[in-house]
Amino acid sequence: MLKTFLTQNRETIVKRWTRQVFDTYPSDTSSFLESQRDRFANPVGYTISTDISNLFDQLTGEMDREKILVSIDNILKIRALQDFSPSQAVEFCFALKRMIRKMLMKSSPDKDMLADLLEFESRIDSLALFAFETYMNCRERIHQIRTDEIKKRSVQVADRCDKGDIEAQK
């Protein structure tokens, strides 16, 4: 029952879910992300739109872990670079739950559909756990890159100082 509902409403759900992610940005940015569809003019909007769609298909399909992780990684690399907090970065997973519940309540679901909803929400919970793990890995990589850059600069400064000392001794 639920699968039929989700399949019939796929386009609406994906569009609303994508919009919810865009709404986490300032209003000017959000408008740009939603309106500019060109992959090269708006790589952030394109990535989010494409990967939200892919995630929905996985949630309603086979739940291929690798495909899920690729899409989550694409979204969360962006959000990690933009300094979203961990809860802000992964909140989009839980937003899908709330949205589907609202849509179902309007359609008068039966007991079987509600049971299916619980199973689907468990899939969303798994998605959120993957997302949190991925976000933390992205943040760790960013911090490692920053640390490596600081070390590199320190070595360059030390080398310059050593050259200055040698020239001063001449």
> What is the per-residue pLDDT across 18-34, written as a single tens digit (0 to 9) for each?
999 999 999 999 999 99
Say which residue, 167 or 71, is predicted with more confidence: 71
> What is the per-residue pLDDT across 69-114, written as a single tens digit (0 to 9) for each?
999 999 999 998 887 889 999 999 999 999 999 998 888 778 888 8
Contact yes or no for 68/81 (Cβ under 8 A): no
What is the DSSP code (8-state) at residue 37? -
pLDDT classification of 165: cutoffs 50, 70, 90: low
In a domain, 22, yes or no: yes
Contact yes or no for 30/23 (Cβ under 8 A): yes
Residue 21 to residue 11: CA distance in whole angstroms: 16
Q: What are phi and psi of 36, to 5 degrees?
A: -85, 110
In the chain, what is the greatest distance between 2 CA atoms, to the nearest angstrom?
90
In a domain, 106, yes or no: yes
In a domain, 147, yes or no: no
Overall number of domains in the chain? 1
Is residue 83 classed as helix, strand or coil in its secondary structure? coil
> What is the per-residue pLDDT across 108-155, written as a single tens digit (0 to 9) for each?
778 888 889 999 999 999 999 999 999 999 999 999 999 999 988 888
In a domain, 69, yes or no: yes
In a domain, 102, yes or no: yes
For position 157, what pLDDT does the model report? Answer: 83
Q: What are phi and psi of 107, to 5 degrees?
A: -100, 10
The residue range of the domain holding 99 is 2-139
In a domain, 156, yes or no: no
For position 164, what pLDDT does the model report? Answer: 65
Given the structure tokens 């949205």, which residue do they identify? 99
User: Which residue from 68, 67, 40, 45 is spatially nearest to 130, judged by alpha carbons?
Assistant: 68
For position 166, what pLDDT does the model report? Answer: 58
Query: What pTM value is reported for the model?
Result: 0.79
In a domain, 150, yes or no: no
User: Which residue from 56, 55, 59 is spatially nearest to 69, judged by alpha carbons?
Assistant: 55
In a domain, 77, yes or no: yes
pLDDT classification of 7: cutoffs 50, 70, 90: very high
